[in-house]
Amino acid sequence: GQQLNQSPQSMFIQEGEDVSMNCTSSSIFNTWLWYKQDPGEGPVLLIALYKAGELTSNGRLTAQFGITRKDSFLNISASIPSDVGIYFCAGSSGGGADGLTFGKGTHLIIQP
Amino acid sequence: DAGVIQSPRHEVTEMGQEVTLRCKPISGHDYLFWYRQTMMRGLELLIYFNNNVPIDDSGMPEDRFSAKMPNASFSTLKIQPSEPRDSAVYFCASRLRSNTEAFFGQGTRLTVV
């Protein structure tokens, strides 16, 4: 089946630093999504990308849909304590009728 | 909108018992998904429904797992009999037909002892 490789697995950073994480796939996706999960909660959608090459921002978050359709990255600028959590990439290859394939997540830890 | 609602939030049961997890999707959403999250395997799609009809159940681990969606506002995931390796967080998610932005519930943490 399809697999997403997400890296890094975890990040230990200082407050105020920028963060970058990415996902690569062995197959093409038509949609890339980035979610954040807080402890004890379900994943919450951060950014959705629908076109190859698309660059989208949501506040301090910026994500890009790779030209090859096999990768995506998420950047967080000027990290703050509430950014702590697990970030997941997810991809969809169908026309909208299938479920999402998730990466294993990037655990972000911020040291004050 | 209250979002996707799952119950119970936590379930502890003994091996061999039947477990039923419940989900109420966002009103008007045509698709409903059941996912399982574990440390080892991450988030895995178990089954999804479109307009209450099961479309793909290839992710259901074995016959002990079954899911139903009797109407547009309710779905259940049943495990019978439960085993310790079924311990995980089970998420329900729903989305509109026109996009793939799935919205997740808070999950049910299942522990089988």
Residues of B within 8 A of A44 (CB-CB) are 104
Contacts of A88 in chain B (CB under 8 A): 43
**Statement: residue A20 has pLDDT above 90:** yes
pLDDT band (50, 70, 90) for residue B1: low
Return mean pLDDT, chain A.
Answer: 91
Tens-place pLDDT, residues A80-104: 999 999 999 999 876 544 678 899 9
What's the mean pLDDT in B80-93? 97
Does B42 lie at the interface with A, CB-CB under 8 angstroms? Answer: yes
> What residues of chain A lie within 8 A of the CB of B99, using their CB?
48, 96
Instruction: Give the SS3 label for residue A65.
Output: strand
Average pLDDT score over residue span B22-31: 95
Confidence band, pLDDT 50/70/90 cuts, at residue B100: low
Q: How many helices (H) and strands (E) does chain B have?
A: 0, 11
Confidence of residue B82 (pLDDT cuts 50, 70, 90): very high
Alpha carbon B59 to chain centroid, angstroms: 11
DSSP calls for A9-35: SEEEEETT--EEEEEEESS--SEEEEE
| CA neighbor of B6 nearest in space, from B44, B32, B42 | B32
Phi-psi domain of B3 (left: phi exceeds 0; alpha: psi -120 through 50; beta: other): left
**pLDDT value at residue B98:** 58
- Tell whether the model's pLDDT for residue A1 goes beyond 60: no
Question: With an 8 Å Cβ cutoff, are B50 and A97 in contact?
Answer: yes
Tens digit of each residue's pLDDT (9 = 90 or more) over B38-71: 988 899 999 999 999 999 898 998 899 999 999 9
Q: What confidence tier does A110 reach under pLDDT thresholds 50, 70, 90?
A: very high
Give the pLDDT of residue B18: 97
Give contacts of A41 with chain B, Cβ < 8 Å. Answer: 106-107
Q: Is B50 on the interface with A (CB under 8 A)?
A: yes
Question: Cα B71 to chain center, whole Å?
Answer: 15
Q: In this predicted structure, what is the pLDDT of residue B99?
A: 63
Put simply, the answer to whether B99 touches A96 (Cβ < 8 Å) is yes
Residue A3: pLDDT band by 50, 70, 90 thresholds?
A: confident
As a whole number of angstroms, the distance between CA A81 and CA A59 comes to: 15
What is the C-alpha to C-alpha distance for residues B48 and B58, in angstroms, rounded to an integer?
Answer: 10
- Per residue in A25-65, pLDDT tens? 988 988 899 999 998 899 999 999 999 999 999 999 999 99
Structure tokens at B78: 């049943």
Average pLDDT, chain B: 93
Instruction: Please name every residue paired with B39 in a beta bridge, in sequence order, or none if there are none.
Output: none
Q: How far apart are CA B86 and CA B108, in angstroms?
A: 12
